[in-house]
Structure 1
Amino acid sequence: MTVLGIETSTKTCAVALVHDGDLVAEYRHKQARIHAEILAGLVDKLMVTSGVNWSELQGIGVSSGPGSYTGLRIGMSLAKGLAFAHSLPIAGIPTTSAIARSLIGLYDRFTVVLPSRKGEIYVAAYKSEADELRTIENAQALLLTDFSSWAGGVAYVAGPGVSALQAAHIDGIKVIPEQFWQIGALNVAAIAAEKFAEGKADDLDSLEPNYVKPFYTTAKI
């Protein structure tokens, strides 16, 4: 199965092709506010250099959020347009889950953190069990000052929002080195391929980014 992945939820704009679980090719460009200018070109470059025809694809995965409102809209719009044009199934993949997939088998319990507006972050908690990833807490918006009480103790953290926790001098965090996780389209495509293999896909007309409306909780992980 060959699947195209599109990631635009952060400053990194990325596209990737995965075939039967293996990476065929991936292109990334890390620069804010230029996703609209470069995304379509990156997809074209990916398809040409990989030698894969649109007729050979079995689906498209796209980051669904949370993340940059503008970035998510750009990625979702292009992905839906391509899925419609080429009659392909589509799957929206949570940004936090795509990052978390890199940590399967490396850490038992951990939290993925994404930047939000000033003083806030997006968080989602996961547990790695054998070769599987289980969601403990779905993505939600949280005040930086509430993170420690929400986590309920020492928390292993990963993701581009970790720097906000460090800058705010939040206690009880253990930072997972960036070399162990990535922001890119590889995991978006890989998770989408797993969904398609199970016969699951999102409805093209109703699929929208998950911006995650802010709410605050003291739930323990």
Structure 2
Amino acid sequence: MKILAVDTASQSCSVGIINDNTVTAEITSSSRQTHSRHLMDMIDSALKMSGFKIKDIDGFAVTRGPGSFTGLRIGISTVKGLALASGRPVAGVSNLKVLASHFYHSPYLICIMIDARKGEVYCAKYRFEKGLLIEQGREQVLSPEKAVSGIDEQCIFSGNGSEIYKTIISDNLKDKAFFAPAHTNIIRASDVAVTALPRLKNGDYDNLAGFSPSYVRKADAEPSSKTCFNLSLP
């Protein structure tokens, strides 16, 4: 199954294409420009690199949040446009779950923290059980102190929030806290695609009409204008 995946939930922007579990193309950028300025060019480039055209893609995957409100809207609206134009299904996946998937078969509790600003983090905990990534509670936005409260076992921390609040985590958990390498804190679109693959294969699609970002925290303000994209398909 050929899946084109997009992540625009944070400062980094990533586009990837997989054919079942094989990555055929991937582009990741950390430009400070708004993702709307280069996302479609990245999609075009990834398609050319893979040798596929939009008509060859069987489904789309996109990070649904939590993360940057503007970034999430850009990624989801772009993928919804491509899905409507091509008639292909879409599966949204959690940014936090994608980051947790990096630690396949880890025996430890996994805590993902993404910076939510205002002294808070988007947080969720996971555990691998018999090869399956199982959520240990719901996604939340809370202070880093509250995020680590109640953890009384060895735990892997990942996500840019764990970097920012590393001192707080270490002070609270001491030698029970392990920190993932910095490169694992970046969401790669190929991982988004692999995470969404079981859903798309099983026909578990998102309804485009009702598919919207998962902000976790209420948006402070809605944008005054909508972002428009040129969705010309190769």
Aligned to 1:219: none
Q: What amino acid sits opposite 1:50 in the alignment? A: S
Aligned length: 214
Q: Is the 8 A contact 1:63 1:93 kept in 2?
A: yes
Deviation at 1:26, TM superposition (A): 0.3
Q: Distance in 2 between matches of 1:181 and 1:118?
A: 20
Q: Distance in 1 between matches of 2:88 and 2:150?
A: 40
Q: What amino acid sits opposite 1:101 in the alignment? A: S
Aligned to 2:135: 135
Percent of aligned positions that are identical: 29
Q: Is the 8 A contact 2:93 2:195 kept in 1?
A: yes
Q: Distance in 2 between matches of 1:179 and 1:42?
A: 21
111-120 or 130-139, which deviates more:
130-139
Aligned to 2:231: none
Structure 1 29/78 Cα, relative in aligned 2: closer, same or farther at 3 Å? same
164-173 or 193-202, which deviates more:
164-173
After TM superposition, the score normalised by the length of structure 2 is 0.85
162-171 or 182-191, which deviates more:
162-171
1:54-82 CA-partner distances (Å, limit 9, x unpaired)? 12111000000000111101101101000
Structure 1 107/10 Cα, relative in aligned 2: closer, same or farther at 3 Å? farther
Q: Once superposed, what is the RMSD of the aligned Cα atoms?
A: 1.8
Q: Is the 8 A contact 1:102 1:181 kept in 2?
A: no
Mark the runs of 5 or more structure 1 residues left unpaired by the alignment: 215-221
Q: Distance in 1 between matches of 2:104 and 2:64?
A: 21
1:105-146 CA-partner distances (Å, limit 9, x unpaired)? 134311111010221001110001232111112211011232
Aligned to 1:88: 88
Deviation at 1:181, TM superposition (A): 5.7
1:211 aligns with 2:215: yes
Q: 2:178 aligns with which of 166, 174, 181?
A: 174
1:53 aligns with 2:53: yes
Q: How does 1:179-190 map to 2 (within 5 A)?
A: 179-180=183-184, 182-190=186-194
125-134 or 163-172, which deviates more:
163-172
Q: How does 1:22-41 map to 2 (within 5 A)?
A: 22-41=22-41
Structure 1 33/120 Cα, relative in aligned 2: closer, same or farther at 3 Å? farther
Q: What amino acid sits opposite 1:164 in the alignment? A: I
Q: Distance in 1 between matches of 2:157 and 2:122?
A: 12
159-168 or 112-121, which deviates more:
159-168
Structure 1 147/193 Cα, relative in aligned 2: closer, same or farther at 3 Å? closer
Structure 1 155/106 Cα, relative in aligned 2: closer, same or farther at 3 Å? closer
After TM superposition, the score normalised by the length of structure 1 is 0.90
Aligned to 1:17: 17
Q: Distance in 2 between matches of 1:4 and 1:185?
A: 8
